[in-house]
Amino acid sequence: MDPREQPQLAWREEIDDAEVSVLHAAAFDHAVEHEPWGERLERHSLGWVTARCGGELVGFCNVVSDGGRHAFLVDTAVRPDRQGTGIGRELVHRAIEECRASPARWLHVDFEIDLGPFSMTDGLFRRSTAGILEL
């Protein structure tokens, strides 16, 4: 795969549980655990964005919804060898576009402190206070 190849983005594209599980494990540096992504997405998501190069999944992000005015950007993942190429930014921008065309009024995002510069770029998100509890 040519690292300069521009990814093809899609909204609510059919996915394979195994390919998303492998991508997620690589992006978040954990063992591959087969997850029921398709079922989970259909049940809880407003939508999701995929990024493919040559048919191969290189990026993914999920927009979970409360069914009303709030949506939550989660599981943004880019294959490690493609990180830093703008794919993550493209995924987020596409998710925002699609959310603007939905009933959602607010898009929430949480991120690790070292990812703040990425998540706060382009004036898309503004800082807020929030609480989190690891279960």
Contact 76, 107 (CB under 8 A): no
Detail the DSSP E strand segments found in 31-87: 45-53, 56-65, 70-78
Q: What domains, with CATH codes, occur in the chain?
A: 8-123 (3.40.630.30)
**Number of other CB atoms surrounding residue 11 within 10 Å:** 15
pLDDT digits (tens, 9 = 90+) for 24-37: 999 999 999 999 99
User: Is 90 exceeded by the pLDDT of residue 64?
Assistant: yes
Q: What is the pTM of this model?
A: 0.84
Whole-angstrom distance, CA of residue 72 vs CA of residue 107: 6
pLDDT digits (tens, 9 = 90+) for 72-126: 999 999 999 999 899 998 999 999 999 999 999 888 887 656 554 554 455 566 5
Whole-angstrom distance, CA of residue 61 vs CA of residue 109: 11
Bridge partners of residue 62, in order along the sequence? 48, 74
